Structure 1
Amino acid sequence: MNWQEQLRNLLLRGYVRKLWEQKEVRRALLAGFFFLAYFVVLSVNFLPDNINLKVGQVAPKNIFSPSSVVYVDEKATEARRQAAAATIVPVYDQNVTVASKLEEEVTGFFDQIRQARQQTQLNLTDKRLLVEKTLTIQVQDQEIEMLLTADDRTIDSLEQQALQLLRQAMTQGVPEDKLETEKERLRRQIGDLGLKKPYRDLLVRLTANILRPNLIINQEETKRRINEARQAVPPVTKSVLQNELIISKGERVTQETLEKLQAVGLMRPKSTWPVLLGIALMLALNFALTLAYLIYFRPDLYHNEKQLSLLALIGLISLLIIRGFLALNFSDRPEINVLSAYMVPVAAASMLITVLLDSQLALLITLLLNWWLGVLSGFQLRFALVGLVSGIFAIYGLRRVTQRSDLVKTGLMHVALSAVAMIISVCLVTDVSPTLTGVAIAYGVVNGVLSAVLAGGFLPLLESAFDLTSPMRLLEITNPNAPLLKELLMEAPGTYHHAIIVGNLAEAAADAIGADSLVCRAGAYYHDVGKIQRPGFFIENQMSGTNPHERIAPSLSTLIITSHVKDGVELGRKYRLPQAVLDIIAQHHGTCLVSYFYHRAKEADRLETVQEEDYRYPGPKPQTREAAIVMLADSVEAAVRAKMQAGQLAGLGPLEGFVRKIIKEKLTDGQLDESDLTLRDLEKIAQAFMKVLKGIVHARIEYPEELKGLERGSANADSDRESPEPAGNNSGNA
C-alpha cells in the first residue's frame, strides 16, 4: 500500500469517526440497523411460495402429480460433490531455479558485507550506507552494523547456517499456498540453533525475506481433478409417478413436498414486493408508535442510547424466538402442531423490559410483539390474545420485584395461569376438542416455564452488557458474601457494622416516603467503603484506643477524612458497583463541614487564615431522594452512637429531639437543596428513624448486683477503647 492509499484510509477513518461521534448520526445508524434486522426476521416468513403453500402450512386440498418425473435433489447432490472436491489435494509444479536464486541472494548479501568491511577508510555509518545502496533485502540498520563489526568467523558461520536452512526448505519443497507455514517452521528451526538473540533475529528476518515457494500450484490440473471428482458423484435423484398423491388435504407441507411440486411443474411464481412493502409499513408504524410513546412519556429513556439499544435488542430477540417456535413441529398431527404458538414465551420480553426499563413501556412492547405473533402465525387472533394476556399478567406480577426468584414465581403463577385460563376460554369459544384443549393447556404451562427461564437467563447478561441496575443486582451486592463487603468487614469492622445500621435506617425511611429502598440499602452498605484504605483514622475502627489524629495537623486530618469519599468511588468502580450506588458514595457527605477539625484549626489559628471551605467535603450534594436519605441516616447513626457512648441519651424523648435537630441542621446547611425531598418527607423520615432507633436505645432490666458489677466493668473496658469524639456526624469520623 503506497502513501497515498494510507493517507486516504487515515482520512476516511477520521471522517467515519467524526460521523459516529455525532449523536444524531449515530442514533440514525442504530435505528437503520435495527429496522433492517427486524425487517429481515419478519419478511422471511413471506418469501415466495408455490400455489399459495409454504413449509409448515396445511394443504387445503389433495394435490396429485400430472406426470411421471425423475428430478435431481440439487441440495443433496451439491453437498456430496463439495465433499468429493474437498478430498482433492492440489497439484504442484516444482520450479528448480528457485533454490539457486535463493543461494545467490544469501551469498550476495554476505559478499556485500565483506566488501564494505574492507573499506577501512570509511567509518561504520558510511560502510552501512554503502551496503544499503545495493541491498535488496530488508534488514535493519543495527543488524547491518552488527555484521560490519563482527569477526570473519561469525559472518561465515551465519552465511552457512542461512544457506543450510534454505537448502533444507527447498529440498522438502515450499508450496505457494503454505509459504507462511514454512516461514514459521524456519523461525522455530533458527530458535533451536542456540544463537544469540541478535544473530537469531537476523537469520529469521533474512530467511523470511528471501524464502520463496518452489512448488507452484498447477491451477489447470488441480481444477481438472476437482471437476473430475465432482462429476464422478452421481446426482441424487428422486421420482414422482403420474397421479401420485404429493400431499393430502390437511397434511402439513414440507420442503420435500415443495420440491416435488416444482419438479412436476405445479409451482406458480408470485410477486412478493407488495407483501414486503406491507411488512415494511407495519414495522415503520411500530417504530413510530414506540418512539412517540418515548418522546412524550419517557423522554429520559428516549435520549439514552444505551437503553434504546437494549429495548431494540430485546424486541429483536423476541421476534427470533417467535419465528423459531412457529417453525417447530412437535407432532405428526397438523392440528397439534398449529397449537405450538401457545408456547411462544413472549412474556419473557415483558418481564425483562419491566425489570430493566419501565412497566408501562413493557405493556406497549407486549402489545406490539403479540401483534407480530398473530401476523406470523397466519393472522390467528387467538395466539395473539393469549400472548397479550399472559404478558400483561407478567408485568403485573413484577410490579414489586425484590429477588430473582420472583421471575420464577411470575412465570409459573401469573404467566402460566393466565395463559391457561385464556386458552381454556378460547377453546370453549371455538369448540375445540377436549384432546386438543388439553394439549393447548400443556403448551400454556410450558409458556410460563420458558418465560421464567428465558427472563432469568437473559437478565444478568443484559445487566452486565448494558451496565444497568436491577433489583436483582442490588440484592446480589448487598449479600454479606459480596467481595467488597467481606473486605470491608475484615479491614474496617467498625465501619461495616455502622453501614449495616445505616442500611436499616435508610431502608425504613425509603419505605416511609416511597423511595427505592433497595437502592438506599445498597448505597448505605457501601457509602463508607472508602475507609478500607485507612481504617485506623476513623473512630469506629480504633480498637487499640490510639487516635492518630492527635499527632497530625487538623488540615491533614480533614484531608484524610474527606478522601474516603473519593477512595470509595474508586473502589466501587473497581468492583463494578451500579452507578446508583456510586452516586450515593460520592454524595453522602455533600459539602458538609468537618466541624471537629475545623474548630481545632480555628483554635490554633492566631492569624485567622483558616477558611471554612477548606474543611468541607468536595460534594456534590445529594441529587436524589435516595442519596439524601443515606446522608441523613449516616449522620443520625454516627451522632446517636457518639451520644450513647458518652451517656448523654437517657430516653426516647431526648433521642427524638436529637434526631430532628440533625435533620434540621442538614436542611439549614443547604445539603438537601438539590434533592427532591419535601418537608413532609423529612417528617416521615424522622419518624422512620425513631422506629429503628427504638430497638437500639431500649430500656434494660435491672440485673443482680454481681452482674451489675460485671456489666460496669465491661462498659468501662469498652469506653477505654474509644477515642474522644464530639457528637455529630460532621466530626470527621463518619
Structure 2
Amino acid sequence: MVELPPGKFSTLLGQLRRGAVVLRLAIAAVTAALLVVLVRGWEPPRDFALGEIPSRDLTARVEFKQLDDRATRDARNRARRFAQAVYDNDPAPLAQLVAQVRNEVLQLASAESLEKVDQSLWSQYLPQLAEGTPAPTDEEKRTEFERFRTALATEEAREGFGLALEKAVQPLQDRGILDRAPTDANAEQIRVQRPGKESFPSVVPVRDALVDNVRNDLDQSLRRLMPNLEVARHVFARLRGNLPVTLKLNEADTRKESDDQAAQVEAVYRVFQPGDRLAEAGVPLEDAAMTLLELDYKEFLARQSVGDIVGRSLSTYWLYASMLALCGLGLYRSDRESVVELGRYATLLTAFLLASGAMFGVIYFAGPQWRLEMIPLLWLGMTIAVAYRHQSALLVLITTGFIAAIGFGWSVGESVIALAPGAASIILLDSVRHRSKLLLVGFWAGLVAIVTTLSVGAIEGQPLWSTMQLALATGLWPVIAGSLLTVSLPAVERVFNIQTDLSLIELGDPAKPLLQELVRRAPGTYNHSITVASIAEAAAEAIGARSLLVRVGAYYHDIGKMLKPGYFIENQGKGVNSHDALVPAMSTLVIIAHVKDGADLARQNRLPQCIVDFIEQHHGTTLVEYFYRQAQKKSLDQADDSKVDESRFRYPGPKPQTKEAAVLMLADAVESASRSLVEPTPARIESLVEELTRKRLDDGQFDECGVTLQELHTIGESLIKSLTAVYHGRVKYPDQVTA
C-alpha cells in the first residue's frame, strides 16, 4: 500500500500535538490576555488629543452633563446673600438703662416742686418740641411737672409704672436692638443668639430690630401699657435717644451659616444631547473642548453593557492573539532559535509586554499629545535588534505598532510616525563596537522621525507651527531611547544572554587574567590562538558571520591546554615529548581533556556561554588521527586481532552549532597542520586547506551549523590567503648564516 505524505493541514495538526508547541502557544495566549488587560481592551480608545485638529465636527455620542462652574458659583453666591446673619445679643446695657430710668423716675416723683428737682435730669424726660412750636412758659413747665409727679404720687402708681416699663422693654431685650441692616446677607431676617447660653438662635425680622423701628414700637408699647399717658410720654423721651445697641455681628457663625447655605445649593449642570457639537472641524482642540470630549467618553464607558465589554474584550484578544501568532511564525522562519529556545522565547515576550505596558502608562499619565509612547517602542526595537536579528526586531516592532494602533486608537499617520524611526534605528544598528553607537543611531532615527512627522502633518493639513513642535519632540525621543539602551545595555546582555561587540572587545583584552595565565603557562598555545584568531576573523568576515565573536572565541578556544601544556607540541622543546611514555589511548585522553578543562575554566571565570560553546565545539567529534593511527599500528605489531575502537579516539563534541564555530574549527585545524609543512608554498597551503575541509565535510562535522558548500569554499579561500601571507617567502641576505 502506497501512503502519500501528509498535507499541510495534517502537518499542522501533528505540530499542535507536540507538548513544546502547545506550551509556546499557551505562553503566547497568556501574553495576548495580559495585553488586553494592559491596554484595557474592553474600552474603546480615545480618538482625540490636545492640540489635534479634527477633520470633522466631533459630536456627543450619549447624553451627558457638564458642571457649569459660573452658574453654580452665582447660585451659591445668591444663597450666601440670602443667608441669615448671626448676631450675639447682650441685653445687659438695656437692663441697666431700665433700672436707671426707674430710679430717676422715683427721684423725680418724690420732688416737692419743679424748682427743687434736678433740672438736668428733668430735661432728659422732656419730649422734643416739634419744629416751629413755641417754648413753654414757666407756668406751663410747672403744670407739666405737677401732672407727671401727681401720676406717680402713690406707691401703687409707682409699682405699676415699674412693671409697665419692664414689660414694654422685655421684647427689646429678647430680640435685641440693631443699629443698621446687615450687608451681604439676608436683609429681611437675622438670627439672634445669647452668648454662653445653650439655646437655639431665634429668627428676628430685621425691621423689628432696627433702632429706629424699635423706638416707634417702644413708644406704642409704653402708651399701651402705662396707665398714664403723661408718664409714658416723658419716659419715652428719656429712652428715645439712649437706647443701646445690643446686637453684635458674630462673623464666624455668620460665615458658617453662609457656607452652609451655599453648600445646600445643588450644582448647576449643562446638559448635552447626542449629536450636539463638542468640537468644530479645523479648530485645534483646546482645554474647553477636551473637557467636553472627556466627559462624553467617560459617560459612554459608563453606559456600556456587560455584553459590550465582553464582546470588545474578546475581539481585542482575538486581534492581539492573531498578530502574536503571525509574529511568532515570522520569527520561527527568520530566527528559529528565538522561538525554539524557551528561555529566549519567554524573554522576548516579557520585553514585549514591558514595552507595551510602558507605552500605555506613558499615554495614561502624560497623554498622547507629545507622543512620549514612542520611547519604549523605540527602545524595544533597538533592544531586539541587539539581542536577536534585524528581521526579528522589525517583526516585533511592527507587531507592537499594530497592537498600539488598536489599543490607543492611532491613525495611519500616527502609526507611520511611530514606526518609521523605529525601523530606521533597527536598520542602522548593525553592531555595537563603541558606546556612542546607540546615540548615533538615535540621532539618525531622530532625523527620520522629524522628516516623517513633517510629511504626515503636511498630508493631513495640520498647522505648520504645531507640526514643527511635534516634529522636534518626536526627533528627540529616538535619542533618549538610544541613551536609555546605552545605560541598560549590560542588563540587556545579561537578561538576553548575548554578547554585543562592545562586551566582546572587553573580553578580547589581552590583559584579561585568563589570557595572561595562558601566556605564562603555555606561550606556544597563546601564539597559536593569536594566529588562529587572525585568520578566523578574516574568514568569518568573508561569509558575513560575526568576525569579532570568532576572534574572541579563538583567543580562548585552547585555554584548557594550560593545565597540561607539556603534552601539546607547540609548548614542547626539542627532543622532549611527554607522550613517549604513554600508550596512544592515554595520550588521546590527555589531548581530548583540554576541551573539558577549557570549558570548566571558562565557567569558573564566568565567561559567557558563547565562548564556552567555541571551546566545546572547535574540535567537534573529529578523530585524534595521529594517536588513532599509532594505536592501529601497535595493534598490528602485536598481532592483536581485536579492532581498535575509533570512538575512543574522537572528541566528545558537540559538532559546531553555528557558522562561527565552523569557521574556528577549520582555522584551528589548518593553522596547526600548516606548521608541519617543510616548505609552506601557496600551492601546498591550498592543498592542505582543501584536504582538511573535505575530511571534516565527509566526517559530517558541518551537518548542524547551517554552513553551505559555497560558504565553505569562501572560508577556504580566505584561509589560504591568510596563511600564505603568514608564511610568505623571505629574502636571504648574503651575510645571513643559517642558525
TM over 0.5: yes
Distance 1:460-1:345 versus aligned 2 partners, 3 A rule = same
Which of the numbers 554, 578, 584 marks the counterpart of 1:524?
554
Compute the displacement of 1:391 (Å): 1.7
- Find 1:30's aligned residue among 27, 30, 34: 27
Cα distance in 1 for residues equivalent to 2:569 and 2:703? 29
Q: 2:442 aligns with which of 401, 411, 417?
A: 411
1:141 alignment counterpart: none
1:488 CA drift (Å): 3.1
* Residue of structure 2 equivalent to 1:503: 533
Q: For 1:576-725, what aligned pairs fall within 5 Å after superposition?
A: 576-602=606-632, 604-605=634-635, 606-608=638-640, 611=644, 613=646, 614-643=648-677, 648-649=678-679, 651-672=681-702, 675-703=705-733, 705=735, 708-709=736-737, 712-713=738-739
Change (3 A) 1:622 1:358: closer
Q: In percent, how many aligned pairs have the same letter? A: 31
Paired residue secondary structure (1:619) = coil
1:620 and 1:477 mapped to 2: Cα distance?
24
Distance 1:343 1:526 in 2: 41
Query: Distance between the aligned counterparts of 2:302 and 2:328, measured in 1?
Result: 42
Match in the other structure for 1:295: 329
* In 1: Cα distance, 2:662 partner to 2:728 partner: 27
Q: Deviation of residue 633 (structure 1)?
A: 0.9
Matched, 1:389 2:420: yes
Distance 2:650 2:694 in 1: 18
Partner of 1:649: helix, strand, or coil?
coil
Matching residue of 2:68? 64
RMSD: 4.4
- 2:36 is the counterpart of 1:39: yes
In structure 2, relative to structure 1, the CA distance for the partners of 1:276 and 1:379 (3 Å cut) is: farther
Distance 2:508 2:433 in 1: 12
Q: Is the 8 A contact 1:420 1:444 kept in 2?
A: yes
Does 1:321 pair with 2:362?
Answer: no
Q: Hey, what's the Cα distance between the residues in 2 that align with 1:286 and 1:445? A: 29
The answer to which of 496-505 and 372-381 deviates more is 372-381
Deviation at 1:43, TM superposition (A): 0.7
How far the C-alpha of 1:537 sits from its partner, in A, is 2.1
Q: Secondary structure at the match of 2:620?
A: coil
Question: Do the aligned partners of 1:341 and 1:383 also contact (CA within 8 Å) in 2?
Answer: no
Indicate how the Cα distance of structure 1 residues 275 and 422 shifts in structure 2: closer, same or farther if over 3 A, else same: farther
Contact 1:342 1:383 in 2 (8 A): no
Change (3 A) 1:439 1:549: same
Task: Give the C-alpha shift of residue 595 in structure 1.
Answer: 3.3
Match of 2:483 in 1: 453
Is 1:290–1:364's contact at 8 Å kept on the other side of the alignment?
Answer: no
Q: Specify the alignment match of 1:304 in structure 2.
A: 341
Deviation at 1:599, TM superposition (A): 4.2
Q: In the alignment, does 2:557 pair up with 1:557?
A: no
Distance 2:45 2:693 in 1: 72
One-letter code aligned to 2:612: L
Alignment deviations for residues 660-701 of structure 1 (CA, whole Å, 9 cap, x no partner): 333334345554455544544333222111221232112334
Mapping of residues 207-606 of structure 1, within 5 Å:
251-252=286-287, 269-271=302-304, 273=306, 274=308, 277-295=311-329, 298=332, 300=336, 301-327=338-364, 329=366, 338-341=369-372, 344-375=375-406, 377-399=408-430, 405-413=436-444, 415-468=445-498, 474-542=504-572, 546-602=576-632, 604-605=634-635, 606=638
- Tell me the SS of whatever aligns to 1:592: coil
**Residue number in structure 2 paired with 1:724:** none
Letter of the structure 1 residue corresponding to residue 416 of structure 2? L
Partner Cα distance (2:536, 2:472) in 1: 46
Output the TM-score relative to the length of structure 1: 0.59
Bigger shift: residues 628-637 or 483-492:
483-492
Shift of 1:309: 1.6
Q: Highest CA radius of gyration, 1 or 2?
A: 2
Cross-structure match for 1:173: none
| Structure 2 alignment gaps of length 5 or more | 1-17, 61-65, 77-261, 272-277, 280-284
Residues 370 and 385 in structure 1, CA contact (< 8 A), matched pair in contact too: no
Deviation at 1:298, TM superposition (A): 1.1
Q: Check 1:631–1:641 CA distance in 2 against 1; reply closer, same or farther (3 A cut).
A: same
1:239–1:327 distance in 2 versus 1, CA, 3 Å: farther
1:139 aligned partner? none
Q: Aligned equivalents of 1:374 and 1:625: distance in 2?
A: 39
Query: 2-side partners of 1:449 and 1:286: how far apart?
Result: 29
Equivalent residue letter for 2:494? S
Using the TM superposition, name which of 314-323 and 435-444 deviates more: 435-444
Given that residues 307 and 357 in structure 1 are in contact (C-alpha distance below 8 angstroms), is that contact kept between their aligned partners in structure 2?
no
The whole-number CA distance in structure 2 between the counterparts of 1:514 and 1:520 is 12
Tell me if structure 2 keeps the 8 A contact 1:343–1:447: yes
Judged with a 3 Å threshold, the aligned counterparts in structure 2 of structure 1 residues 238 and 453 are, in CA distance, closer, same or farther, namely farther
Offset from partner CA, 1:199-256 (integer Å, 9 cap, x none): xxxxxxxxxxxxxxxxxxxxxxxxxxxxxxxxxxxxxx9999967999x99554899x
Distance 2:311 2:502 in 1: 42
1:252–1:22 Cα change, 3 Å: farther
**How far 1:366 moved relative to its partner?**
2.0
Q: What does 1:97-112 align with in structure 2 at a 5 Å threshold?
A: none
> Shift of the alpha carbon at 1:565?
1.3
Which AA in structure 1 matches 2:567?
F
- Structure 2 distance, partners of 1:320, 1:252, is 27
Aligned length: 505
Q: How far apart, in 1, do the equivalents of 2:583 and 2:643 lie?
A: 12
Superposed CA offset, 1:342-382 (max 9, x none): 75442221222223233333323322322344455554443
SS at 1:642's partner residue? coil
2: CA distance, partners of 1:582 / 1:44: 45
Structure-2 residue corresponding to 1:74: none
Q: TM-score, normalised by structure 2?
A: 0.59
Distance in 1 of aligned mates of 2:705 and 2:31? 37
Q: CA deviation at 1:584?
A: 3.3
SS at match of 1:699: coil
One-letter amino acid matched to 1:305? L
Structure 2 letter corresponding to 1:625:
K
* Inter-partner Cα distance in structure 2 for 1:555 and 1:518: 36
- How far did residue 410 of structure 1 move? 1.9
Paired with 2:643 and 2:288, the residues of 1 have a C-alpha distance of: 88
The one-letter amino acid paired with 2:32 is F
Give how far 1:638 is off: 0.9
Q: What is the alpha-carbon distance in structure 2 between the residues aligned to residue 42 and residue 266 of structure 1?
A: 19
